[in-house]
């Protein structure tokens, strides 16, 4: 198999290395400033005490590749870049017949790819491996987690699981791609947007009753949208999302905070939440619109509201866009709660 990996962040590197370790030819589409480093050094993957370096071919643009066609394209970019990737793939001869696997977080990525490339080519993926970048060409990943896949059209894509059988990656097929993506979204909401708004780590959020209550409300609003849409939660690899939903709905806050503080910390493998990292890095383009923002938008489509998600999305957008000082919310969960209460008081539709 020949695979193109679009995106050379921690997840793109991780999957490029795993696919290469399975004996397949891998091409990595990276930024012009980093592509030469991958060509010189390959990718080093560290999992526990094991470290392996695999040679890789990296390109900086589609025009740099003139080789045979790809059977598989893996999209591992942030959601705000999906439209540009869809257009790139639509114009790239080598990807004209490829299956396209999106391992991105949030909602809307698969629909964007399907609109440009056709639904039968698109496969939704949910990666629950915690991966983070080390040096320019290195990534460190957790032993836990794996990759669940579900086609969004009518064409089967089980051959992908067979092709990756020797990759060292745990794999599972899921029947309902919407269930897959919404279940992963629920995980991505945990200690992410609230951390970015408050400039707090997950441990700090779960140590504070007010911050945790907002985080929990974001999760429960997403669960409510799912139920109204007829979308059931599905268990992901090492993430029993249906059981987590039951806990979030009924467990005492104190117990839930202790459980999640330990569980989320292990799952992240020491990595800070992506939204917090992006805001701290001064990035203006964030994935918040496809995470908390997407939940709020879907609730409005249903004639309801998701005020916690709407407020968290707006606050993080405002901080990233420099329209409000981070100091207004940094370490101030009561200020974030006021924003949630303000969002809950707007409009005439009922809250989730």
Residue 321: burial class (beta carbons within 10 Å; 0-12, 13-18, 19+): exposed
What's the number of domains the chain is made of? 2
Looking at the fold, whether 131 and 157 belong to one and the same domain comes out as yes
**Residue 33 and residue 138 in one domain:** yes
Give 224-249 pLDDT, tens digit per residue.
999 999 999 999 999 999 999 999 99
Q: Tell me which of 175, 190, 210 is where a domain ends.
A: 175
* pLDDT of the residue at 348: 42
E strand or H helix at 151 = strand 147-151
Residue that terminates a domain, selected from 157, 175, 193: 175
Burial 281-305 (b: 16+ CB within 10 A, else e): eeeeebbbbbbbbbbbbbbeeeebb
Cα 352 to its chain centre, rounded Å, is 23
CATH number of the domain encompassing residue 26: 3.40.50.720
The answer on 322 and 301 residing in a single domain is yes
Q: How far apart are alpha carbons 196 and 179 in whole angstroms? A: 26
The enclosing domain of 191 has a CATH number of 1.10.1040.10
| Structural domain of 245 | 182-351
Tell me what pLDDT residue 319 has: 98
Residues 312 and 188 both lie in one domain: yes
Residue 261: the pLDDT is 84
Distance of alpha carbon 255 from the chain centroid = 27
Q: Are residues 167 and 186 in the same domain?
A: no
Pull the structure tokens for residue 222: 């997403």
Is residue 281 a contact partner of residue 274, using CB atoms and an 8 Å limit? Answer: no
Residues 229 and 165 grouped into a single domain: no
Which of the residues in the chain have pLDDT under 70? 265-270, 347-352
Q: Are residues 18 and 75 in the same domain?
A: yes
Report residue 187 as tokens.
């995980």
Residues 189 and 146 in one domain: no
Together in a domain, 104 and 171: yes
Tell me what pLDDT residue 270 has.
66
As given in the structure block, the two tokens for residue 310 are 């709407």
Tell me the pLDDT tens digit for each residue of 320-336: 999 999 999 999 999 99
Q: Are residues 187 and 167 in the same domain?
A: no
State which of 129, 155, 175 marks the end of a domain.
175
* 76 and 53 belong to one structural domain: yes
Secondary structure (3-state) at 102: strand
CA distance 151 to 177: 6
Residues 191 and 69 in one domain: no
Quick count: other Cβ atoms within 10 Å of Cβ 134?
12
């Amino acid at each position: 198999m020949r695979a193109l990996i679009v995106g050379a962040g921690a997840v793109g590197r991780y999957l490029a290395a795993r696919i290469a370790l399975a004996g397949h030819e891998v091409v990595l589409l990276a930024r012009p400033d980093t592509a030469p480093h991958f060509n010189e050094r390959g990718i080093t993957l560290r999992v526990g005490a094991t470290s392996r370096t695999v040679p890789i071919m990296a390109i900086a643009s589609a025009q740099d590749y003139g080789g045979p066609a790809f059977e598989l394209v893996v999209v591992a970019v942030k959601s705000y870049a999906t439209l540009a990737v869809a257009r790139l793939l639509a114009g790239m001869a080598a990807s004209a017949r490829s299956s396209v696997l999106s391992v991105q977080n949030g909602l809307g990525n698969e629909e964007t790819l399907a609109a440009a490339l056709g639904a039968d080519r698109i496969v939704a993926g949910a990666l629950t491996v915690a991966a983070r970048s080390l040096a320019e060409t290195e990534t460190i990943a957790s032993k836990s987690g794996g990759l669940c896949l579900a086609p969004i059209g009518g064409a089967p894509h089980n051959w992908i699981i067979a092709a990756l059988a020797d990759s060292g990656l745990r794999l599972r097929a899921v029947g309902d791609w919407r269930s897959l993506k919404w279940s992963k979204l629920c995980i991505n909401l945990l200690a992410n947007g609230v951390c970015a708004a408050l400039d707090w780590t997950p441990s700090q959020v779960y140590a504070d009753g007010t911050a945790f209550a907002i985080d929990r409300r974001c999760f429960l609003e997403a669960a409510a949208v799912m139920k109204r849409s007829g979308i059931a939660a599905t268990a992901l690899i090492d993430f029993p999302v249906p059981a987590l939903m039951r806990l979030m709905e009924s467990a005492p806050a104190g117990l839930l905070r202790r459980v999640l503080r330990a569980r989320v910390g292990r799952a992240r493998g020491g990595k800070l939440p992506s939204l917090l990292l992006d805001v701290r890095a001064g990035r203006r383009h964030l994935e918040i619109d496809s995470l908390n923002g997407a939940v709020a938008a879907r609730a409005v489509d249903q004639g309801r509201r998701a005020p916690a998600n709407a407020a968290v999305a707006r606050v993080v957008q405002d901080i990233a866009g420099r329209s409000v000082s981070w100091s207004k919310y940094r370490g101030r969960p009561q200020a974030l709660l006021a924003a949630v209460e303000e969002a809950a008081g707007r409009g005439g539709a009922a809250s989730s």
